[in-house]
Amino acid sequence: MQAPWQPLTDEPPYGLTAQQKTPRLLAELIALNGHHQTHCALYQRLQQALPLCQQQPGSLAELPYLSVRLFKQFTLQSVPDNQVFKTLYSSGTTGQPSRIVLDKDAAALQSKVLVRIMQHWLGKDRLPMLIIDHPGVVKDRNSFSARGAGIQGLAFMGRNHCYALNEDLSVNTEALTEFCQRYSEGPVLIFGFTFMVWQWLSQLAAGQVQLPQAILLHSGGWKKLQAQAVGNAEFKAKLAQVAAIQRVHNFYGMVEQIGAVFVECEQGHLHCPASADVLVRNPQNWQLCAHGEPGVLQLLSTLPRSYPGHSLLTEDRGVIIGEDNCPCGRPGKYFQVLGRLALAEARGCSDTVTAQAV
């Protein structure tokens, strides 16, 4: 028995059942909500306008939530400007990007939790790392793009980094050949954004890359691949066929809730780590959906301390598949992302929440 509780960020990422986790998550999120009300004047104003927030939430579903779109419209931060250590921007191709600020403690906590989650999947050793991108994407240290931030965030999980692409996204054959010659006999880590990995695969000559012990992590959404009618099964089949890569994990997360990553298990299910959770809401009435019923994803995380991003309504559709009973054996909630909301639906969703709040 543990009493008093340690924070969920100190727990092994996949060690708690729903019954063990939920009361602790609720208590931490209520405390965090109070912290942001005290330290972010705009958040407090938004909160006061939400009828739900007048009483103490009795369940995760009753916690107040912000539309992720609000981070594009407003500067929401719970630390003074002089303590901002790092600023992150979302990757939106149109309009204003989200702006997320981290102080030193928040940045350190985010790294710590990310490492613990990734070590679960990769092991504790730093592996030689192949990055499916070009080195220019991380060069601008002042304004991290989402792609740059993603690579930077994962780069310290590996060693002897090799960038597989040139600036024009063609394959850097020389670098790739050298990497394969040195490391193809042993385990390696490969990371790239889903669409970049697909582009890379499509350019490879037969037999050019054979990395049978590689673990490939990829993220960034399926939108571009869905346009080409490529799904997860085909993506994995092509990795195996072209490069002999068998272990592939997609993961889901967003700049607005950095550090909370949901990694795909061997069964193809995204798992919630101890310090994060997902809820799914029906966009007609914002009530919670039953397991198996698709709706809009809401993300909960105990990590955001420097900005009020602990409970966010996303613009992604998803479905909870189950809880504590995934055949892979990991306890906790597991789910699938079904893609972006249609633009009108996303606007409606944001308008509803914004109107409620402002």
d(CA 188, CA 80): 41
Indicate the residue among 263 and 346 with the shorter CB distance to Zn ion.
Answer: 263
Q: Which of 86, 269, 305, 333 binds Zn ion (CB under 5 A)?
A: 269
Least Å distance between CB 247 and Zn ion? 14
Indicate the residue among 120 and 340 with the shorter CB distance to Zn ion.
Answer: 120
Q: Is 326 among the residues that bind Zn ion (CB under 5 A)?
A: yes
Name the DSSP class of 6. Answer: P
Q: Is 247 among the residues that bind Zn ion (CB under 5 A)?
A: no
Q: Which of 331, 304, 327, 325 is nearest to 76 (CA)?
A: 304
Least Å distance between CB 121 and Zn ion? 11
Indicate the residue among 162 and 326 with the shorter CB distance to Zn ion.
Answer: 326
Least Å distance between CB 187 and Zn ion? 21
Bridge-based pairing of strands 99-102 and 270-271 is: unpaired
Contacts of 177 (CB under 8 A, 6+ apart): 208
d(CA 252, CA 271): 10
DSSP 177-241: HHHHHHHTTS-EEEEEEHHHHHHHHHHPPTTS---TTEEEEEES-SHHHHHTT--HHHHHHHHHH
Residue with tokens 């972010």: 40
Q: What would the x/- binding string for Zn ion be over residues 44 to 63, using CB under 5 A? A: --------------------
d(CA 308, CA 304): 6
Q: Which of 223, 218, 254, 221 is nearest to 88 (CA)?
A: 254
Q: Is 263 among the residues that bind Zn ion (CB under 5 A)?
A: no
Least Å distance between CB 41 and Zn ion? 42
- Interface size with Zn ion, residues (CB under 5 A): 5
Q: Which of 38, 210, 267, 325 binds Zn ion (CB under 5 A)?
A: 267
Q: Which of 61, 265, 288, 321 binds Zn ion (CB under 5 A)?
A: 265
Least Å distance between CB 270 and Zn ion? 9
Indicate the residue among 108 and 328 with the shorter CB distance to Zn ion.
Answer: 328
- Contacts with Zn ion by CB under 5 A lie at 265, 267, 269, 326, 328
